[in-house]
Chain A
Amino acid sequence: MIFVSKKIAKKASGWILDGNHAAAQGIKLSRVQVIAAYPITPQSPVTETLSEFVERGELDAEYIAVESEHSALAVCTSASIVGARTFTATSAHGLAYMHEMLHWAAGSRLPVVLVCVNRAMGAPWNVLNDQQDSISQRDTGWIQIYTRNNQEIIDSIIQAYKIAESVYVPVMVCYDGYVLSHTEMPVDVPAQKDVDRFLPPYRPHTILDPANPKNYNLVTLANPRVNAEGVLCHGYMELRYLLQEALQNSRETIIRVGQEFGELFGRSYANMFWENRLDDADVVIVAMGSLAMEAIVAADMLREAGHKVGVLGLRVFRPFPKADVIKALKKSRLVVVFDKNISYGLEGATCSEIKSALYGSSVSAVVRNFIVGLGGRDVKARELVDAVNKSLLSVKEGDLNKEYPEWICDI
Chain B
Amino acid sequence: MQLMVDTIEPVAFGTRNDSFLRLAESQKYHLCMQDYYEIRWHGRGGQGAITAAKILAQAAYLEGYQGVTAAPSFGAERRGAPVSASTRISPQTVMVVSQVEDPNVVVVLDHTLLKYEEITSGLVRGGWLIVNSWRHPKELDLGGDFNIATADATRVCSSLGLIVAGLTVVNTAILGAFIRATKAVGMASIEKAIRARFPNREVDINLAAIAQTYEITKLEKIR
Contact = CB atoms under 8 A, between A and B. Distances in A.
Classify the secondary structure of A's interface with B. Answer: loop
Contacts of A294: 95-98
Contacts of A237: none
B74 A376 contact: yes
Interface of B: 35-36, 38, 54, 57-58, 61-62, 64, 66-72, 74-76, 88, 90-99, 101-102, 196
B97 A183 contact: yes
A380 B98 contact: yes
Given A297-B96, A376-B75, A16 B66 contact: no
Given A128-B74, A184-B54, A10 B93 contact: yes
Contacts of B94: 3-4, 185
A184 B71 contact: yes
Interface residues of A, number: 35
Contact of B96 (A3, A128, A176): A3
Contact of B62 (A9, A14, A128, A380): A14
A5 B95 contact: yes
A381 B74 contact: no
Contacts of A380: 98, 101
A289 to B, nearest CB: 9
B97 A127 contact: no
Contacts of B35: 3
A296 interface: yes
Contact of A15 (B66, B90, B99, B196): B196
Given A4-B94, A179-B74, A185-B94, 8 more contacts: A1-B102, A3-B35, A5-B92, A9-B66, A12-B64, A128-B75, A182-B74, A185-B68
A183 B70 contact: yes
B20 to A, nearest CB: 13
Nearest to B60: A16
B99 A293 contact: no
Interface centre among A3, A128, A129, A291 (most CB of B within 10 A): A3
Given A3-B90, A14-B61, A182 B97 contact: no
Contacts of B36: 3-4
B126 to A, nearest CB: 16
Contacts of B38: 3
B98 A379 contact: yes
Interface centre among A8, A15, A16, A178 (most CB of B within 10 A): A16
Contacts of B99: 378
Contacts of A376: 74-75
A378 B57 CA distance: 22
Contacts of B88: 3
28 contacts: A1-B102, A3-B94, A3-B95, A3-B96, A4-B90, A4-B91, A4-B95, A6-B92, A8-B93, A8-B95, A9-B92, A12-B64, A15-B58, A15-B196, A16-B57, A127-B75, A179-B71, A179-B74, A182-B74, A184-B58, A184-B70, A185-B70, A185-B94, A186-B66, A293-B96, A293-B97, A296-B95, A376-B74
